[in-house]
């Protein structure tokens, strides 16, 4: 399996260094034969190539089996005509990574303020309120007058169908319950179609129970009782916001692993951003990228029918639980270790498994 590694901005390089060590150790331990090929995106690519991402990089990623994308300083990339392209958007759009899978769970050894829970947000990744990926050319956010902006939200039946299918398939491997999160009371057409399509897809999964919740009410429900939820399917922006909340409710945004998956390609990427407030201080939690790497291995194992990759992914996830239980982790999740030291403790446990 060949994986392109793009360390990214802010806390990207320090957390990706740990994730890379974990991938290499898993490769040795489970005989995966991983080949890691390092390149640049974000600020480093802007300096070297005049753009945060390049078509040559996209070709390279397409020729590989997976991508690990570090956090990107998206907020600083304002003008695409000067090469300041949002790398997350670029890969999600051009690799057609329609599903963003964002698990959130509590771990033994950490204080679970809201009780234990284990859920997954399945977020549509290619349209919705994300104006930078909604049209073939031009933008779908327009300055009508200096004081008026219109941002278009695109919802298509095809994207509703495929994200619903991803959610129901995932639910079949879990507790067989899907919650549709929407704003159909206001966005009657777009979210109306989203709910109807999800329920229609759900008919092919009669064992899976379904409910739906309006997004604003969901913020209260998930804080009150996150254990009520198993798989949550929602549109792009609602999923982005909700999954930051669920990651933080699980203990820290630093536990927010995520996979961006399409039919042919997949990209592991932390749910959080580049966290400039803690960059370069050796305090960022590498767990989100470690989990994202495990999800990428699991995706590849499922695609190829190769159990070694699934075993490696399960071992990485179990090792994370062990390190948290032993408080061999960063401060945000109850430990005392720095990023590098948490990585070293993780490797010791993974190789001893």
Strand partners, 150: 142
* Rounded-to-integer distance, Cα 232 and Cα 45, Å: 35
Residue 305 DSSP label:
T
Q: Does 337 bind ligand ATP (CB under 6 A)?
A: no
Q: What is the closest distance, in whole angstroms, from the C-beta atom of residue 183 to ligand ATP in the complex?
A: 23
Nearest to 352 by CA among 323, 310, 325, 324: 323
Q: Which of 285, 292, 310, 319 binds ligand ATP (CB under 6 A)?
A: 285
How many other C-beta atoms lie within 10 A of the C-beta of residue 307? 12
* Rounded-to-integer distance, Cα 305 and Cα 267, Å: 19
Q: What is the closest distance, in whole angstroms, from the C-beta atom of residue 290 to ligand ATP in the complex?
A: 10
Q: Does 273 bind ligand ATP (CB under 6 A)?
A: yes
Q: Does 251 bind ligand ATP (CB under 6 A)?
A: no
Residue 328 DSSP label:
-
Q: Which of 208, 284, 295, 337 binds ligand ATP (CB under 6 A)?
A: 284
* Rounded-to-integer distance, Cα 152 and Cα 127, Å: 10
* Rounded-to-integer distance, Cα 21 and Cα 142, Å: 44
Q: Which stretch binds ligand ATP (CB under 6 A): 109-117, 186-194, 228-236, 250-258?
A: 250-258
Q: Which of 254, 257, 268, 335 binds ligand ATP (CB under 6 A)?
A: 254
Q: Does 275 bind ligand ATP (CB under 6 A)?
A: yes
Q: Which of 18, 41, 73, 121 binds ligand ATP (CB under 6 A)?
A: 73
Q: Which of 54, 234, 274, 319 binds ligand ATP (CB under 6 A)?
A: 274
Q: Which stretch binds ligand ATP (CB under 6 A): 24-32, 109-117, 202-210, 275-283?
A: 275-283
Q: What is the four-CA torsion angle of 171, 292, 316, 225, rounded to 10 degrees?
A: -50
Asked whether 282 and 301 are in contact (CB, 8 A), the reply is: no
Binding site for ligand ATP (CB under 6 A): 10-11, 15, 71, 73-75, 252-254, 272-278, 284-285, 288, 332
């Amino acid at each position: 399996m060949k994986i392109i590694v793009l360390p990214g901005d802010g806390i990207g390089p320090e957390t990706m260094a740990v994730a890379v060590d974990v991938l290499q150790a898993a490769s040795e331990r489970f005989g995966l034969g991983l080949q890691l090929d390092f390149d640049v995106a974000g600020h480093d690519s802007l300096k070297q190539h005049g753009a945060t991402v390049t078509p040559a990089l996209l070709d390279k990623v397409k020729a590989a089996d997976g991508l690990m994308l570090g956090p990107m300083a998206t907020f600083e990339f304002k003008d695409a005509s000067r090469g300041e392209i949002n790398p997350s958007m670029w890969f999600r759009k051009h690799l057609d990574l329609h599903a963003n899978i964002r698990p959130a769970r509590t771990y033994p050894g950490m204080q679970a303020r809201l009780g234990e829970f284990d859920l997954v947000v399945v977020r549509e990744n290619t349209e919705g309120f994300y104006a930078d990926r909604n049209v073939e050319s031009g933008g779908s956010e327009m300055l009508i007058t200096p004081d008026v902006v219109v941002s278009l939200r695109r919802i298509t039946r095809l994207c509703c169908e495929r994200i619903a299918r991803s959610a129901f398939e995932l639910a079949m491997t879990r507790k067989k319950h899907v919650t549709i999160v929407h704003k159909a009371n206001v966005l009657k057409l777009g979210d109306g179609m989203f709910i109807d399509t999800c329920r229609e897809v759900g008919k092919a999964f009669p064992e899976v129970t379904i409910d739906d919740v309006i997004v604003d009410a969901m913020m209260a429900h998930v804080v009150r009782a996150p254990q009520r939820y198993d798989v949550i399917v929602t549109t792009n922006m609602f999923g982005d916001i909700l999954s930051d909340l669920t990651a933080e409710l699980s203990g820290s945004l630093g536990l927010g692993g995520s996979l961006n998956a399409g039919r042919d390609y997949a990209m592991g990427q932390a749910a959080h951003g580049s966290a400039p407030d803690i960059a370069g201080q050796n305090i960022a939690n590498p767990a989100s990228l470690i989990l994202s790497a495990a999800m990428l291995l699991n995706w590849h194992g499922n695609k190829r029918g190769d159990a070694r990759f699934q075993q490696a992914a399960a071992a990485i996830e179990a090792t994370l639980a062990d390190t948290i239980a032993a408080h061999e982790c960063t401060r945000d999740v109850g430990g005392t270790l720095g990023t590098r030291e948490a990585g070293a403790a993780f490797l010791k446990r993974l190789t001893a498994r």
